Amino acid sequence: MKEDMELVFEICVVVPKREAILKGDEDFDCGNVFAKELKNAGLVVERVIGNSDEFFKCRQELLQAREKHKEEQVIALKHSMQSGMEQVMKEQAQMREEMAYQYKLGNFEAAATIQRRLDPDAAL
């Protein structure tokens, strides 16, 4: 399956293989007919031909790969959130220093504005 596509749902159809189907008569194979109908409907079709045990093994590998990808995304998100929080904490420290400086200068209006930005819930 392509990397840039996100799986919305997955359908598994196990069609029993009959010996009656002749090698040159693949147009009447219900698996091929079903795949063609799904493609005509605009869906992405990936056929895995084999017995059901092989399919479930292949499916398990795909599920493990998806789970690993999700875990990597969560780790990346946590890392980005942590670095974002560090940046916010640095900005807050700078604002506190600026607020203290404004108090020393006697500019209480600017200091109050900075205080409201630091703690917006206190103003309520």
Pick from 52, 22, 47, 19: nearest CA to 33: 47
Per-domain residue ranges for the chain?
A: 11-18+25-47, 48-118
pLDDT given at position 124: 46
Q: What pTM was estimated for this model as a whole?
A: 0.40
Residue 11 · residue 34 · CB < 8 Å: no
For the stretch 84-99, what's the b/e string if a residue is b when 16 or more beta carbons lie within 10 angstroms of its beta carbon? eeeeeeeeeeeeeeeb
Rounded CA-CA distance 13/20 in Å is: 20
Among 81, 88, 124, CA closest to 96: 88
Considering only residues 50 and 55, tell me which one the structure prediction assigns the higher pLDDT.
55
Task: Reply yes or no on whether the pLDDT at 111 is more than 70.
Answer: yes
